[in-house]
Amino acid sequence: MRGVLTRWVVPVRCAGCRRQPAHLCCHCLTTLQFALPFCLICDQYSPHGLIHKTCTHLTIQHISLFYYNHVARNLLKLYKKKPYKAYAQAFNQLLKYYLHFDPFYLTQKIPNNNVSIIYPASTRSKSLGYDHIKILVPLVAQGFNIRNWKAVAAYRSKKQAKQLKTIKSKTKRAEFLLRHSYTIRPKALRPHSNILIIDDVTTTSVTLLSLVNAVINSGVPFKSITTFTFFKVRLN
């Protein structure tokens, strides 16, 4: 009854066009372009989404589903800035749509057992009333058919979060993020588990690399690291 009243008071409209009565209509869904697999370090094409051996010795696979466009911008704006938790279902649609085609056969390599799913804890969770990334964790786990998983939050100190808000330059923000890595409680991670790091969107991959550093700095042994985002912003 509560869900019916919510839909009556705040009717669901497509996050992309705001016209169709759906979380994400078919037309807006088909405007999204599959993102090519790339290296997290140099942002160049990589056939299997792995970091190039010339960039680092670590073996890390990355998957971004779609390139960022006006539909992605509108969806993230609605989901982040307004308390519309219902729009999490749009991300579920995105994942199902991508898995239906699986254009680069990347998702087949995602481990589906004994997985620690790491997400960056939102600094706006108190004002929003929910953590927008945390809500996506079970959707991702269900979409990839992951069994025996555990959600682990990565935190940044309040002082660093306030400092980050004052930095406007993208270059300086990237330098700050790499220098001040996230913190993960070692007891929260499962020893010898597969690590899956998730976020909503990536531009320069700095946040993802910062989370990778946090996993390594925790000192907890792990089997593999995979990073995942729904959207990738084109840099060129």
Convert the pLDDT of each residue in 59-108 to its tens digit.
999 999 999 999 999 999 888 876 677 788 899 999 999 999 999 999 88
Separation between Cα atoms, residue 82 and residue 84, nearest integer Å: 6
CATH architecture of 2-232: 3-Layer(aba) Sandwich (3.40)
pLDDT of 212 over the 50 cut? yes
Distance between alpha carbon 131 and the CA centroid of its chain, in Å?
13
Helix axes 88-101, 70-81, angle to 10 degrees: 140
Instruction: Name the range with the highest mean pLDDT among 2-16, 32-46, 76-90, 172-186.
Output: 32-46
Q: Which two tokens stand for residue 56?
A: 């680092």
